[in-house]
């Protein structure tokens, strides 16, 4: 059994315990042990980076130090956390000068970044530690007939040089994982473009425009739902649709699912255990199709 330190970040515990729930269930069921670390903080994502790049590196490195001390690799459910921590981890591993600079900051809290651990997105854990084949064998409720639009968002893939999750131009990981559950992964236009999530709060208009395009393209391609791998994208597309309804006076009804929720369903979970009622756009259409 492989053990990981689970890095929750901010959005998930604050807004999406249902995501955490499904991810914990699925991973545990597939033989991954998750350890919760004390004293973690925000991963220092783009909003913090915008204020001070050095601070964001130091904060990310601090959190990695906690994992180093625990002797565990980190797994994240959030692409934002994945990106912040991976970028810091790989930048510092590759740049002695920068590492020393950040370690001078960390010495204030008695930590030293060593670069001895890796940071993974839970999709990587599913592919690398569980394996597609084993995943398929565990599927007790095939999702065949479901047309799912895989949505990668940005920070799971880019900057690719520092993340290495998948090919940033032709990613397959989420598509493969969707198809492993028996569903069909549908192609749609501008699949790899941003959900606009990071503009929320600064320019809701632009953020919604970007999210809207995703919803339209996916429905045009005949998708039953959009599958995300990041709580930020999830909010942008799910909550986003409610806001779109009032802003554009149009009807949007595209269910948004975390991949882990889809996975739990395929592994045979009762939707009630997953607290899916928290979704702003109801996912009953999807449930009807797969149950």
> Which lies closer to another protein via its Cβ, residue 149 or residue 180?
149
The stretch among 139-147, 193-201, 238-246, 253-261 that binds another protein (CB under 8 A) is 193-201
Q: Are 157 and 165 in contact (CB under 8 A)?
A: yes
Counting beta carbons within 10 angstroms of the beta carbon of residue 253, is it exposed (0 to 12), middle (13 to 18) or buried (19 or more)? exposed
The stretch among 105-113, 130-138, 141-149, 261-269 that binds another protein (CB under 8 A) is 105-113
CB atoms inside a 10 Å sphere around CB 49? 17
Residue position matching structure tokens 């690799």: 73
Contact status: 48 vs another protein (CB under 8 A): yes
Residues 6+ away with beta carbon under 8 Å from 278: 16, 17, 18
Q: Which of 4, 7, 11, 226 binds another protein (CB under 8 A)?
A: 11
Contact status: 269 vs another protein (CB under 8 A): no
Contact status: 206 vs another protein (CB under 8 A): yes
> Which lies closer to another protein via its Cβ, residue 105 or residue 139?
105
Q: Report in angstroms how near the CB of residue 266 gets to another protein at its nearest.
A: 20
- Three-state DSSP state, 243: helix
Q: Which of 4, 18, 76, 238 binds another protein (CB under 8 A)?
A: 18
Q: Are 231 and 77 in contact (CB under 8 A)?
A: yes
- The angle at the Cα of 233, spanning 227 to 236, to the nearest 5 degrees, equals 115
Report the run of H or E that residue 227 belongs to, with start and end: strand 225-228
Q: Are 43 and 89 in contact (CB under 8 A)?
A: no
Q: Report in angstroms how near the CB of residue 215 gets to another protein at its nearest.
A: 14
Contacts with another protein by CB under 8 A lie at 8-11, 13-15, 17-18, 20-21, 24, 36-42, 45-55, 58-59, 62, 66, 101, 105-106, 108-109, 111, 154-155, 158-160, 167-170, 187-190, 192-194, 196-199, 201-203, 206-207, 209-210, 220-221, 275
């Amino acid at each position: 059994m492989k053990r990981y330190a689970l890095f929750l970040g901010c959005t998930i515990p604050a807004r999406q315990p249902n995501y955490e729930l499904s991810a914990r269930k699925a991973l545990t069921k597939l033989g991954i042990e998750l350890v919760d670390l004390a004293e973690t903080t925000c991963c220092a994502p783009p909003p913090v980076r915008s204020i001070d790049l050095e601070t964001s590196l130091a904060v990310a490195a601090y959190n990695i130090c906690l994992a180093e001390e625990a002797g565990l690799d980190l797994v994240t459910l959030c692409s934002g956390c994945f990106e912040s921590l991976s970028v810091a981890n790989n930048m510092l591993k590759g740049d002695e000068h920068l590492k020393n600079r950040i370690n001078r900051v960390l010495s204030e809290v008695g930590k030293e970044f060593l670069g001895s651990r890796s940071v993974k997105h839970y999709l990587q854990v599913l592919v690398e530690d569980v394996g597609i084949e084993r995943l398929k064998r565990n599927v007790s409720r095939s999702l065949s007939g479901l047309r799912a639009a895989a949505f990668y968002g940005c920070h799971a893939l880019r900057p690719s040089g520092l993340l290495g999750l998948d090919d940033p131009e032709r990613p397959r990981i989420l598509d493969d994982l969707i198809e492993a559950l028996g569903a069909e992964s549908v192609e749609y236009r501008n699949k790899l473009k941003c959900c606009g999530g990071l503009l929320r709060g600064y320019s809701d208009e632009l953020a919604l425009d970007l999210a809207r395009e995703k919803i339209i393209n996916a429905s045009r391609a005949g998708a039953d739902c959009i599958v995300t791998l990041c709580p930020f994208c999830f909010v942008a597309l799910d909550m986003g649709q409610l806001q779109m309804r009032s802003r554009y006076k149009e009807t949007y009804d595209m269910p948004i699912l975390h991949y882990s929720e889809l996975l739990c369903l395929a592994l045979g979970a009762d939707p009630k255990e997953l607290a899916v009622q928290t979704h702003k756009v109801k996912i009953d259409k999807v449930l009807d199709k797969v149950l």
